[in-house]
Amino acid sequence: MINTVIFDMDGLLVDSEPLWGIAMREVFSTVGVTLSPELTHLTTGLRTKEVVSYWHNYFKWDSKSADQVTAEIIDSVTAKIIASGTAMEGLHYILDFFGQRSFKTGLASSSPLRLIEAVLQHLQIRDKFQAVYSAEFEDYGKPHPAVYLACATALNSDPLDCLAFEDSVTGMTAAKAARMKTIVVPEPHNRQDPRYALADMKLDSLLQFGDRQLELLTTKR
Protein backbone atom coordinates (compact mmCIF):
# COMPACT_ATOMS: atom_id res chain seq x y z
CA MET A 1 0.00 0.00 0.00
CA ILE A 2 1.47 3.35 -1.02
CA ASN A 3 1.74 5.42 2.16
CA THR A 4 5.01 7.33 1.77
CA VAL A 5 6.21 10.20 -0.39
CA ILE A 6 9.83 11.25 -0.83
CA PHE A 7 10.81 14.50 -2.54
CA ASP A 8 13.94 15.72 -4.23
CA MET A 9 14.71 19.35 -3.36
CA ASP A 10 16.62 21.45 -5.90
CA GLY A 11 14.49 22.40 -8.88
CA LEU A 12 11.46 20.62 -7.43
CA LEU A 13 10.69 22.32 -4.11
CA VAL A 14 12.91 25.38 -4.43
CA ASP A 15 13.79 27.29 -7.60
CA SER A 16 17.49 26.83 -7.02
CA GLU A 17 18.80 25.43 -10.29
CA PRO A 18 19.44 28.91 -11.80
CA LEU A 19 21.22 29.89 -8.58
CA TRP A 20 23.35 26.72 -8.70
CA GLY A 21 24.28 27.65 -12.27
CA ILE A 22 25.29 31.18 -11.30
CA ALA A 23 27.29 30.00 -8.28
CA MET A 24 29.12 27.35 -10.28
CA ARG A 25 29.99 29.71 -13.11
CA GLU A 26 31.23 32.35 -10.65
CA VAL A 27 33.42 29.96 -8.68
CA PHE A 28 34.70 28.07 -11.72
CA SER A 29 35.70 31.38 -13.27
CA THR A 30 38.16 31.85 -10.39
CA VAL A 31 40.10 28.83 -11.67
CA GLY A 32 39.93 29.93 -15.30
CA VAL A 33 37.03 27.70 -16.29
CA THR A 34 34.08 29.06 -18.27
CA LEU A 35 30.86 27.04 -18.08
CA SER A 36 27.89 27.89 -20.25
CA PRO A 37 24.35 27.24 -18.96
CA GLU A 38 24.22 24.29 -21.36
CA LEU A 39 27.32 22.76 -19.77
CA THR A 40 26.05 23.23 -16.22
CA HIS A 41 22.89 21.29 -17.14
CA LEU A 42 25.06 18.26 -17.96
CA THR A 43 25.69 17.65 -14.28
CA THR A 44 22.23 18.46 -12.87
CA GLY A 45 21.31 16.05 -10.08
CA LEU A 46 24.86 15.04 -9.17
CA ARG A 47 26.49 15.77 -5.82
CA THR A 48 28.54 18.98 -5.77
CA LYS A 49 31.82 17.14 -5.27
CA GLU A 50 30.98 14.95 -8.28
CA VAL A 51 30.25 18.02 -10.41
CA VAL A 52 33.57 19.58 -9.42
CA SER A 53 35.42 16.31 -9.99
CA TYR A 54 33.83 15.97 -13.43
CA TRP A 55 35.00 19.41 -14.57
CA HIS A 56 38.34 19.17 -12.78
CA ASN A 57 39.12 16.00 -14.73
CA TYR A 58 38.15 17.81 -17.92
CA PHE A 59 39.84 21.21 -17.43
CA LYS A 60 42.63 20.11 -15.04
CA TRP A 61 43.12 23.42 -13.21
CA ASP A 62 45.68 23.56 -10.39
CA SER A 63 45.13 26.95 -8.76
CA LYS A 64 42.67 25.60 -6.17
CA SER A 65 41.91 22.14 -4.86
CA ALA A 66 38.70 20.43 -5.88
CA ASP A 67 37.65 20.44 -2.22
CA GLN A 68 38.11 24.21 -2.01
CA VAL A 69 36.08 24.80 -5.17
CA THR A 70 33.35 22.50 -3.85
CA ALA A 71 33.15 24.38 -0.55
CA GLU A 72 33.04 27.76 -2.28
CA ILE A 73 30.19 26.65 -4.56
CA ILE A 74 28.17 25.35 -1.61
CA ASP A 75 28.77 28.55 0.37
CA SER A 76 27.79 30.67 -2.62
CA VAL A 77 24.59 28.84 -3.52
CA THR A 78 23.50 28.70 0.12
CA ALA A 79 23.86 32.47 0.41
CA LYS A 80 22.03 33.02 -2.88
CA ILE A 81 19.10 30.80 -1.89
CA ILE A 82 18.75 32.46 1.50
CA ALA A 83 18.88 35.87 -0.17
CA SER A 84 16.54 35.25 -3.10
CA GLY A 85 15.46 31.61 -3.34
CA THR A 86 11.76 31.10 -3.96
CA ALA A 87 9.43 28.14 -3.60
CA MET A 88 8.50 26.23 -6.73
CA GLU A 89 4.89 26.47 -7.88
CA GLY A 90 2.73 24.14 -5.82
CA LEU A 91 5.21 23.55 -2.99
CA HIS A 92 2.82 24.18 -0.10
CA TYR A 93 -0.07 22.59 -1.96
CA ILE A 94 1.72 19.28 -2.49
CA LEU A 95 3.05 19.09 1.08
CA ASP A 96 -0.43 19.79 2.45
CA PHE A 97 -1.97 17.28 0.02
CA PHE A 98 0.09 14.42 1.39
CA GLY A 99 -0.03 15.69 4.96
CA GLN A 100 -3.83 15.68 4.91
CA ARG A 101 -3.71 12.04 3.77
CA SER A 102 -1.32 11.05 6.58
CA PHE A 103 1.51 10.08 4.25
CA LYS A 104 4.95 9.66 5.73
CA THR A 105 7.06 12.36 4.09
CA GLY A 106 10.77 12.41 3.39
CA LEU A 107 13.35 14.35 1.43
CA ALA A 108 16.24 12.76 -0.47
CA SER A 109 18.62 15.26 -2.06
CA SER A 110 22.04 15.31 -3.69
CA SER A 111 22.76 18.61 -1.92
CA PRO A 112 24.89 18.73 1.24
CA LEU A 113 22.90 18.49 4.45
CA ARG A 114 23.85 21.99 5.58
CA LEU A 115 22.38 23.41 2.40
CA ILE A 116 19.25 21.27 2.72
CA GLU A 117 18.66 22.49 6.26
CA ALA A 118 19.21 26.11 5.18
CA VAL A 119 16.65 25.75 2.39
CA LEU A 120 14.06 24.06 4.60
CA GLN A 121 14.45 26.79 7.20
CA HIS A 122 14.30 29.51 4.53
CA LEU A 123 11.07 28.09 3.11
CA GLN A 124 9.74 27.32 6.63
CA ILE A 125 8.86 23.71 5.76
CA ARG A 126 11.23 21.71 7.97
CA ASP A 127 8.35 20.40 10.08
CA LYS A 128 6.73 18.81 7.01
CA PHE A 129 9.39 16.08 6.78
CA GLN A 130 9.84 13.11 9.07
CA ALA A 131 13.15 12.18 7.43
CA VAL A 132 15.71 14.31 5.58
CA TYR A 133 18.62 12.62 3.84
CA SER A 134 21.58 13.88 1.86
CA ALA A 135 23.48 11.77 -0.65
CA GLU A 136 26.72 13.31 0.65
CA PHE A 137 26.72 10.60 3.33
CA GLU A 138 26.22 7.72 0.90
CA ASP A 139 28.94 5.83 -0.92
CA TYR A 140 27.23 6.68 -4.19
CA GLY A 141 25.10 9.62 -5.24
CA LYS A 142 22.22 9.73 -7.68
CA PRO A 143 21.58 8.02 -10.12
CA HIS A 144 22.42 5.32 -7.55
CA PRO A 145 19.33 4.67 -5.36
CA ALA A 146 21.22 4.78 -2.04
CA VAL A 147 19.81 8.08 -0.74
CA TYR A 148 16.24 7.03 -1.59
CA LEU A 149 16.67 3.68 0.10
CA ALA A 150 18.19 5.30 3.19
CA CYS A 151 15.29 7.75 3.43
CA ALA A 152 12.72 4.96 3.05
CA THR A 153 14.45 2.96 5.78
CA ALA A 154 14.38 5.98 8.10
CA LEU A 155 10.64 6.28 7.48
CA ASN A 156 10.19 2.54 8.11
CA SER A 157 8.71 2.23 4.62
CA ASP A 158 9.08 -0.42 1.96
CA PRO A 159 10.38 1.22 -1.25
CA LEU A 160 7.47 -0.41 -3.09
CA ASP A 161 5.12 1.65 -0.91
CA CYS A 162 6.82 4.94 -1.81
CA LEU A 163 6.16 7.70 -4.30
CA ALA A 164 9.16 9.76 -5.39
CA PHE A 165 9.01 13.25 -6.90
CA GLU A 166 11.93 14.34 -9.07
CA ASP A 167 12.82 16.99 -11.63
CA SER A 168 15.93 15.53 -13.27
CA VAL A 169 16.79 12.43 -15.27
CA THR A 170 19.53 11.61 -12.76
CA GLY A 171 17.11 11.76 -9.85
CA MET A 172 14.39 9.89 -11.70
CA THR A 173 16.83 7.08 -12.44
CA ALA A 174 17.75 6.87 -8.75
CA ALA A 175 14.13 6.68 -7.63
CA LYS A 176 13.23 4.07 -10.23
CA ALA A 177 16.28 2.01 -9.26
CA ALA A 178 14.93 2.11 -5.70
CA ARG A 179 11.72 0.55 -7.11
CA MET A 180 9.58 3.56 -6.21
CA LYS A 181 6.70 4.93 -8.25
CA THR A 182 8.26 8.07 -9.72
CA ILE A 183 6.67 11.36 -10.75
CA VAL A 184 8.81 13.83 -12.66
CA VAL A 185 8.25 17.58 -12.88
CA PRO A 186 11.01 18.66 -15.29
CA GLU A 187 12.14 22.20 -15.94
CA PRO A 188 10.35 23.73 -18.98
CA HIS A 189 13.44 23.64 -21.22
CA ASN A 190 13.93 19.97 -20.47
CA ARG A 191 10.42 18.51 -20.57
CA GLN A 192 10.73 16.84 -23.95
CA ASP A 193 13.71 14.70 -22.97
CA PRO A 194 12.67 11.20 -24.12
CA ARG A 195 14.33 9.63 -21.10
CA TYR A 196 11.45 10.83 -18.93
CA ALA A 197 9.42 7.99 -20.46
CA LEU A 198 10.94 5.87 -17.69
CA ALA A 199 8.89 7.76 -15.09
CA ASP A 200 5.47 6.55 -14.00
CA MET A 201 4.05 10.04 -14.48
CA LYS A 202 5.24 13.37 -15.89
CA LEU A 203 3.71 16.71 -14.82
CA ASP A 204 4.31 20.34 -15.72
CA SER A 205 3.67 21.49 -12.13
CA LEU A 206 3.20 20.08 -8.66
CA LEU A 207 -0.26 21.62 -8.81
CA GLN A 208 -1.28 19.01 -11.40
CA PHE A 209 -1.02 16.20 -8.86
CA GLY A 210 -4.27 15.26 -7.13
CA ASP A 211 -6.48 12.38 -6.07
CA ARG A 212 -6.89 11.11 -9.63
CA GLN A 213 -3.12 10.93 -10.16
CA LEU A 214 -2.66 9.26 -6.78
CA GLU A 215 -5.28 6.66 -7.66
CA LEU A 216 -3.64 5.97 -11.01
CA LEU A 217 -0.28 5.36 -9.36
CA THR A 218 -1.80 3.26 -6.59
CA THR A 219 -3.47 0.91 -9.07
CA LYS A 220 -0.63 0.86 -11.61
CA ARG A 221 1.38 -2.35 -11.73
Strands 162-166 and 201-202: unpaired
Please give the helix or strand (H or E) that residue 6 lies within, else none. strand 4-7
Residues recorded for the chain: 221
Phi-psi region of 45 (alpha: psi -120 to 50; beta: other; left: phi over 0): left
Could you give the residue numbers annotated as active site? 8, 10
Closest CA to 23 of 67, 79, 66: 79
SS3 of residue 5 by DSSP: strand
Q: How far apart are CA 180 and CA 128, in angstroms?
A: 20
